[in-house]
Structure 1
């Protein structure tokens, strides 16, 4: 039975993937390195250090751990103007709570980014039963550790969860962990998401399928 929903954050709850890419471009611009937003695409979902470092390696530039703090500072400035919650997410969260389906947030980002995102839109992240961030794991996506830890903390078996993801890295991590994974096409086109159990273009369709499964399996 489906006992829990596990949400990725960036690109699933928030329209933040393009914002962090803009922040990355500005980060490198300050170092006289011109990059394109598309250069960050292969590193979506892997955490901000890997996100920066993956691009930096192409320019023989060294990234320090502290550089994440600067990236988040730039990100916050842009996010204050552009960040929003995807339509339909709050409805899924609220319906899950009403039906006693556990909900968790599992993000490769640091807790500081969680606080930035939820603070800007004035939505309490404490609504989640469990939050797992990148600072709590050694191995970032596509390694399954983040979902293994989340399921353990929820006290459920991975096969009794549905992970909602927007990236190939996240889907790979969820499937390796043994979770069911539904993908949303907020960030990547369908042909990049084919390893997911199902792919949806909007949250209305995704919500119908989620709660059809929870109803059928209870």
Structure 2
């Protein structure tokens, strides 16, 4: 069988490019507190990577707490965006890997379950604005969020690349499932979950700083 060439790399954002999980967690906790419910940081853990509606809604369901999800999301983002300028940082090695991919002639995309307002704020903050990318795919671009493959398939279509020629970099269980369902190889980074929980990925690295172009090329050719 002829090896598949690597043509594109699709990056998840939260937990891969940016250390944003503590910020959205803090914003969500503050939003619930404004509404009279005290929740815990770990309550959100099962919903990482599934999009903000599920992230908030899953915790509301856990406590049997009625919540207007759209309004709750709006307020959570409002709080979050106040934190970004002073607190959001890229993971070490993330920006450099994106630039190495692009210098090697690979097409690059961000595919995130977050809304575009959050994606664009994060990317600008870490010095990889939307204009850096060949495609930026957000929650608004797919009916079904991760673990469904829709976001990654939408990215492949925009990149005009077959799914088999794409490698995904993810941090969340739902994202690994989405990549596999899309017919793409997946590298997982252990920034949000322990490495032993990420073994469904084709390759696991402790951090994105450890992911190399050779890793990505080797996966595509399997």
Would the TM-score normalized by the shorter structure come out above 0.5? Answer: yes
Alpha-carbon distance in 2 for matches of 1:28, 1:188: 24
Alpha-carbon distance in 2 for matches of 1:103, 1:121: 16
- Deviation larger for 147-156 or 113-122: 113-122
| Cα root mean square deviation, aligned | 1.7
Alpha-carbon distance in 2 for matches of 1:149, 1:92: 22
Alpha-carbon distance in 1 for matches of 2:100, 2:9: 11
Query: Which residue in 2 is equivalent to 1:148?
Result: 153
Contact 2:167 2:216 in 1 (8 A): no
Alpha-carbon distance in 2 for matches of 1:81, 1:207: 29
Query: Which residue in 2 is equivalent to 1:70?
Result: 75
Alpha-carbon distance in 1 for matches of 2:34, 2:216: 47
Is 1:97 the counterpart of 2:81? The answer is no
Deviation (angstroms), 1:68: 1.3
Is 1:126 the counterpart of 2:162? The answer is no
82, 86, 104: which one aligns with 1:81: 86
Alpha-carbon distance in 2 for matches of 1:122, 1:206: 20
Q: Which digits, 9 at most, give the CA deviation of each residue in 1:21-67, with x for residues without a partner?
A: 11111111111101101110111111111110110112222233132
Alpha-carbon distance in 2 for matches of 1:14, 1:123: 11
11, 16, 20: which one aligns with 2:20: 16
- Deviation larger for 10-19 or 63-72: 63-72
Query: Which residue in 2 is equivalent to 1:181?
Result: 186
Structure 1 alignment gaps of length 5 or more: none
Alpha-carbon distance in 2 for matches of 1:182, 1:211: 8
TM-score, normalising length from structure 1?
Answer: 0.93
Number of residue pairs the alignment of both structures matches: 216
TM-score, normalising length from structure 2?
Answer: 0.92
Alpha-carbon distance in 2 for matches of 1:115, 1:152: 20
22, 37, 59: which one aligns with 1:33: 37
Alpha-carbon distance in 2 for matches of 1:22, 1:189: 21
Q: Which digits, 9 at most, give the CA deviation of each residue in 1:162-218, with x for residues without a partner?
A: 10000000000001110000000111101221100000013343115335538x96x
Is 1:42 the counterpart of 2:46? The answer is yes
